[in-house]
Structure 1
Amino acid sequence: MDRGGCQMSGGGGGGEGGGGMITLEDLETFSEDQLSDSGNGSLQEEAETMEEDENRLLQYWQDVARGHQVEVSQDMAEPIQQLTSNQGRSQREPVPFTLLSRKEKCGELLYEKRHYEKGHWACITMREETYEQSICYGFMKLMRYICQQNSTGDYLGMTLPILTVVRTNENPPGFSHDITVAYYLPVEHQAQPPQPTDSEIVVELWPATIVYTRPFTGPTNEVTIMNQVHALAEVLDRPNVCASDSFIVAGYTNPAHRNRQNEIWFLERR
C-alpha cells in the first residue's frame, strides 16, 4: 500500500513516549517563524527558502512519526508545507451540530447528546498492523486530498474533529483491523464535494444522526480508548439506545500529542 505520510488530529496515535510531540499549534508557530523572511529576496532565493522550509518541516514530522512506527515519505514535503502555512492563516472549521442535552455531576461533564445534520465526509478505510498506524496512515492520505489532490486542485480547508470509526469484534473481543478515518468537507464544498484523485478515498453522504459524546484527554490507543468506551457506557442513562457494534473517536488535536483533546461518540440506533 502506498503510504503518504502525516499526522494531526485523527483519532489515534501511539500512547507511549508522547512527550515533545508536535501539535497543530506547534506547526503554526513553526510555519510563521520559518516563512516570515520569505518575499524579501529574489525569486531564486525565495524558492530556495521554500525548499529549505519544506525539508525542515518534513524532517520534523519524520522524527515525530518514527516514534510511532510510522514512515513519512519524501513526497509529503510539499503537502506538509501547504497544510502548515494554511493552518497558520485560517481558522479550522468545526463540524456543525445542535446540542440537545448534557448531563453533569459535581461540575464534571458526563456526556452530551448532539444532533448532526447529514453531510459529506471523505473517508478511507485502513488495515495496518496496529490501530495507531491505521489512524496515521489514513490521515496521511486524507491530507493529500485536502492539499490539492482533488478535482479542484485547491487547498480545501481544515475541519475538526477528524473522526475514526472503530468496529468491534465479539470473538475474539476487541477492535476490528478495519479502521475508517473521516474528514468533514467544509461548508463551501458540501453542495459539490471535490472528488479525490486517490481511488482509496471515497466521499460519502452520511445521514443525520444523534450521538452521545464524552470528552477525554491524553493519548489514544486500544487500551485507553476501550477504557473511555466503558466509561461512557457506564454514565449513559440508557446505553441500550446506542449501536453496540461500533463507536467513533473524535480527534481535535494531533493524535501523537500527550494531552490531545478527544471525544468518544456512541451513535443512537436508528
Structure 2
Amino acid sequence: MIVEMGHRVSKMLSLFILTTVVGLVAASPARTWPPTFCHGQDCPRYSVVTSTADYEERLYEPAKWTSVTISGSEYSSAVSEGFRKLFQYISGANEEQAKIPMTVPVLNKVTPRQGSSMDVTVSFFVPYADQTSPPEPSDPDVFTNTLPQMTAFVRHFSGFARDNDWTENVAALAKSLDNATISYHKDFYYTAGYDGPFTPTNRHNEVMFIKSD
C-alpha cells in the first residue's frame, strides 16, 4: 500500500514538473532574431518597443556603417551612385584590399534641401566581424559612420519600390506619428532596402523617422 502510494506521488510529481516546463516554454517569447527579411546576412540589431497597425517602434543598438553622401535632385540616381561607390569599397577599394561581405539593409538618410534638391547618405552596415575596426576606404568620399543608439519609428511595405513609393510611405508614416502626437526629427528620414534587384517576391522595404527628445 505504501509502495503504491509512493508510485502515485512520484507520477504526480513527474507530471507536475513536465506540465510546468511545457508551460514555461509556451510562455517564453519566440526567438525573432535575426528577422527573416535579413536573409541570414548581418544586419543592425534592434528590439521592438511597441507595434501598431501603422508602424513599429524600434530601439537600435549603436553600430558602425560605411557611408557616402550624394547631393542631387533625384533620389534613385543618388542611391545608385552611392551604392556603386560602396560596392567598390566592399569589393576591395580599401586599405587592406579586403573583400567585405554584403550586409543589409542599404540604408539611405534623406535630407531635403531647397526646391527639389536633397542630400542622400547611402550606407552599408559594417559586418559584425569588422565593427571594432573597419578597413579604411580608398575613396576619400567614403567614410565610416557611427550611428548611436536611437529609437526609430518604422513603416514597411513590399514590392519593387519606386521614388513615389518611398515618398508616399514617408508621408503616411509622418501622418501616423503626427496623429499620435509623437515627437520626431522632421528634417530628415531614412529609407531601407533589404533585397537585391533579382529578388522577385516577398521584398521588404522600410521608411523611418528618428525619435526626438
Q: TM-score range by the shorter chain?
A: 0.7 to 0.9
- The structure with the largest alpha-carbon Rg is 2
Q: Does 1:123 align with 2:72?
A: no
- The structure 2 residue matched to 1:139, chosen from 83, 88, 111, is 83
1:159 matched residue in structure 2? 103
User: How far apart are residue 154 of structure 1 and its match?
Assistant: 1.7
Distance 1:239 1:185 in 2: 34
SS in 1 for 2:64: strand
Distance 1:241 1:137, change over 3 A: same
> CA offsets per residue over residues 211-232 of structure 1, 9 Å max, x none?
0001012333432222101211
Distance 1:203 1:230 in 2: 30
RMSD between superposed Cα atoms in Å = 2.2
**Number of residue-to-residue matches in the alignment:** 173
Q: Is the 8 A contact 1:131 1:221 kept in 2?
A: no
- The structure 1 residue matched to 2:137, chosen from 193, 196, 211, is 196
Distance 1:222 1:256 in 2: 18
SS in 1 for 2:121: strand
Distance 1:257 1:230 in 2: 26
Distance 1:257 1:164 in 2: 20
User: How far apart are residue 263 of structure 1 and its match?
Assistant: 0.3
Q: Does 1:249 align with 2:194?
A: no
Q: Which segments of 5 or more consecutive residues in structure 2 lack a partner in the other structure?
A: 1-38
How many percent of aligned residue pairs carry the same amino acid? 28
1:233 matched residue in structure 2? 174
Distance 2:126 2:181 in 1: 30
Distance 1:177 1:262 in 2: 20
Q: Does 1:150 align with 2:99?
A: no
> CA offsets per residue over residues 212-265 of structure 1, 9 Å max, x none?
001012333432222101211233353541110010001101368776420011
Q: Is the 8 A contact 1:219 1:256 kept in 2?
A: no
SS in 2 for 1:159: coil
Q: Is the 8 A contact 1:166 1:176 kept in 2?
A: no
TM-score by length of 1: 0.59
Q: Is the 8 A contact 1:118 1:209 kept in 2?
A: yes
Q: Does 1:182 align with 2:134?
A: no
TM-score by length of 2: 0.73
Q: Does 1:206 align with 2:183?
A: no
Q: Which segments of 5 or more consecutive residues in structure 1 lack a partner in the other structure?
A: 1-89, 105-109
- The structure 2 residue matched to 1:215, chosen from 153, 156, 164, is 156
In structure 2, give the amino acid aligned to 1:243.
Answer: H
Q: Is the 8 A contact 2:44 2:63 kept in 1?
A: no
Greater RCO structure (CA 8 Å; 6+ sep): 1
